[in-house]
Chain A
């Protein structure tokens, strides 16, 4: 079966760095996507990895290891506005996104 595993909740301090891990099992693989979702709002696209390695985009970076079925999202210089849920979503062989339940990130001053 297809399965996504990410922590339910994490807490971090403003200005710090946090890493949100995601492990996955899918039928085939066509890339992995990270989305941000603030409470009561729509998900918004953050990043995309299809090859192994690190993709950096400002304060956010995303890493992929296809052989390990593993990805992480790294957030640097945390700001209060980064308090949100972060959704991990690999794409399977049918080009369907398989969504994790999300990691709720709480930022404390």
Chain B
């Protein structure tokens, strides 16, 4: 049982490039989330999806976009990466929306130069 799989695990990216972080879950969870984690700060919600076909903006959505074409996949795209987007990105899911019991992927470490 994989749970949540994120790819890539780590990536170095030149500023201005487009990047998609992939997230797939096999738990048939309805809700999915993207967070970024920076040193000294709490996890910050970028975008979320309560169910397939719907998405919403979190606390720090600027510069990021998401899609939820089906239940399992929730990719995060940086259209034109900037150095301030250097961070560790976590994808998470929950069985239902509006619950705090989340299951996290192992994270994607992104460095933008």
Contact = CB atoms under 8 A, between A and B. Distances in A.
A63 B94 CA distance: 24
Nearest to B44: A99
Interface residues of A, number: 21
A41 B100 contact: no
Contacts of A89: 42-43, 100
What 7 A-B pairs come out closest when comparing CB atoms?
A99-B42, A95-B98, A42-B104, A33-B100, A99-B43, A91-B100, A101-B42
A101 B104 contact: no
Contacts of B106: 41-42
Interface of A: 4, 30-31, 33, 41-45, 48, 87, 89, 91, 95-102
B102 A45 contact: yes
Given A42-B104, A96-B59, A97-B45, 8 more contacts: A4-B42, A41-B106, A42-B90, A43-B104, A45-B103, A48-B101, A99-B42, A102-B42
Interface string B40-58: 1111110000000000001
Interface in B81-113: 90, 97-107
